[in-house]
Amino acid sequence: MGVYIKGMEMPTSCRACLYSRTDIRNVDWCVLTEKDLPCDCPLVPVPPHGDLIDRDPFIEFIKTHWDSYDQWFAEQLEARPTIIPAEEGKT
């Protein structure tokens, strides 16, 4: 499962990240990856966006309950950009 931390800005560097630590050996490491820095950062920037919804159930509702004229609307929803991709095992 992914986590969104409201109000958190994308760090400009590992050292500026709130998940960066320095251990007693004076080695910098990442709490999230449990690896020395720099590492493959698991944080992903979220671009500016409106409300995020799960559009798939709504598209399915349109396709099964609305007439064929409104299929255009479902196609427009499907064509919208994905802000945060679906998680594995979810569609």
SS (H, E, C) 12-73: CCCCCCCCEEECCCCCEEECCCCEECCCCCCCCCCCCCCCCCCHHHHHHHHHHHCCHHHHHH
**Residue 84 in this model has a pLDDT that exceeds 70:** yes
The pLDDT of residue 90 is 56
Kindly state the DSSP code that residue 75 receives in the 8-state scheme: H
Closest-CA residue to 61 (of 46, 49, 73, 79):
73
pTM: 0.57
Indicate the domain borders of the chain. Answer: 1-46, 47-82
**Residue 66 in this model has a pLDDT that exceeds 90:** no
**Residue 20 in this model has a pLDDT that exceeds 90:** yes
